[in-house]
Amino acid sequence: MTAAVDPTRPATVTLKLGEGARERLKLLAEAKRRSAHYLMKEVIERYLDQEEAQQAILKSVDAKVANFEANGKHITLDEVKSWAGVLAHDRKAQLLTWHA
């Protein structure tokens, strides 16, 4: 029989660190007046947020490439540079339009 898992209860995860990393973590925790557990949890959360954001960007880029391949609409680099020059003097400059 399998025990029911409570999704609201935090799960325990074991993390093996080398002696050098453990000592660095201990010293940093002491300096910040936090527990090593708190620092590890914080760093993992930050890493997950960063990686999820990167994956979202990559997914968006893939969608944009597929859209370009489907309809060919684009703006050239020279057009963007020219528009940026106008925008530097006129913040209300008209937005560029895509073209084939």
pLDDT, tens digit, 9 for 90 and up, residues 62-97:
999 999 999 999 999 999 999 999 999 988 888 999
Total domains in the chain come to: 1
Residue 85 lies in a domain: no
Residue 1 has what pLDDT?
A: 60
Tokens in use for 48?
Answer: 């997950």
User: What's the longest Cα–Cα distance across the chain?
Assistant: 72
Residue 33 has what pLDDT?
A: 98
Q: Which residues pair with 99 in a beta bridge?
A: 74
Measured distance CA(20)–CA(43) in Å, rounded: 17
**Burial 12-49, CB ≥16 within 10 A → b, else e:** eeeeeeeeeeeeebeeebeeeeeeeeeeeeeeeeeeee
The residue segments making up the domain with residue 37 are 20-71
* Residue 59: pLDDT over 70: yes
Higher pLDDT among residues 1 and 54, named by residue: 54
Residue 32 lies in a domain: yes
Residue 28 lies in a domain: yes
Residue 1 lies in a domain: no
